[in-house]
Amino acid sequence: MFLKVLIGAALITASGCAREPDERVTVRFWHGIESPENNLLLEEKVRVFEERNPEVRISLENIGAQDRAMPRIMTALSADRQPELLWFAPVYTGRLAESGKLIPAQRFIDEDPDFSTEDIYEGILESGKYNGKIYTVPFETNCLGIYYNKEHFEAAGIENLPGTWQELRETAARLTEYFREKGDEESYGMLIPLGTQEWTVWSWQTFLWQAGGEILSEDMTEPRFQGSPGVEALKYWISLVHEDESAVFSERNAGYKVEPFLAGRVSMMINGPWNYPVLKGQDEVRYGSFPLPKSRERATNIGGENLYIFESEPEKEEASWKFAKFIMSEEFQVEWAMNTGYLPVNRSAAESEEYSEFLSENPFIETFVDSMEFGRSRPPVKEYSRLSDRLGRALEEALYRRQSPDEALEKAAEEAGEFL
b/e code 221-252 from CB counts within 10 Å (16+ = b) = eebbbbbebbbbbbbbbbebbeebebbbbbee
CB 345 within 8 A of CB 124: yes
Judged against a pLDDT cut of 50, whether residue 8 lies above it is answered with no
Share of the chain above pLDDT 70, in %: 94
Query: For the domain 145-302+378-417, what is the CATH superfamily, name and number?
Result: Periplasmic binding protein-like II (3.40.190.10)
Q: At residue 142, what are phi and psi to the nearest 5 degrees?
A: -160, 180
Per-residue pLDDT of 29-78, as tens digits, reads 999 998 888 999 999 999 999 999 999 999 999 998 877 898 999 999 99
- CATH 3.40.190.10 residue ranges of the chain are 21-142+303-376, 145-302+378-417
Per-residue pLDDT of 148-161, as tens digits, reads 999 999 999 999 99
> How far apart (Å, rounded) are the C-alpha atoms in residues 228 and 113?
45
Per-residue pLDDT of 271-283, as tens digits, reads 999 888 888 877 6
pLDDT at 156: 97
Task: Choose which CATH entry (1.10.167.10, 3.40.50.300, 3.90.1200.10, 3.40.190.10) describes domain 21-142+303-376.
Answer: 3.40.190.10
pLDDT at 20: 54
Question: Which residue, among 324, 291, 295, 333, has the nearest Cα to 121 in the 3D structure?
Answer: 333
Judged against a pLDDT cut of 50, whether residue 100 lies above it is answered with yes
Per-residue pLDDT of 281-306, as tens digits, reads 776 558 999 999 999 999 999 999 99
Find the helix or strand (DSSP H, E) in which 269 lies.
strand 266-271
Task: State the pTM of this model.
Answer: 0.86
Judged against a pLDDT cut of 50, whether residue 11 lies above it is answered with no
Confidence grade of residue 4 (pLDDT, cut at 50, 70, 90): very low
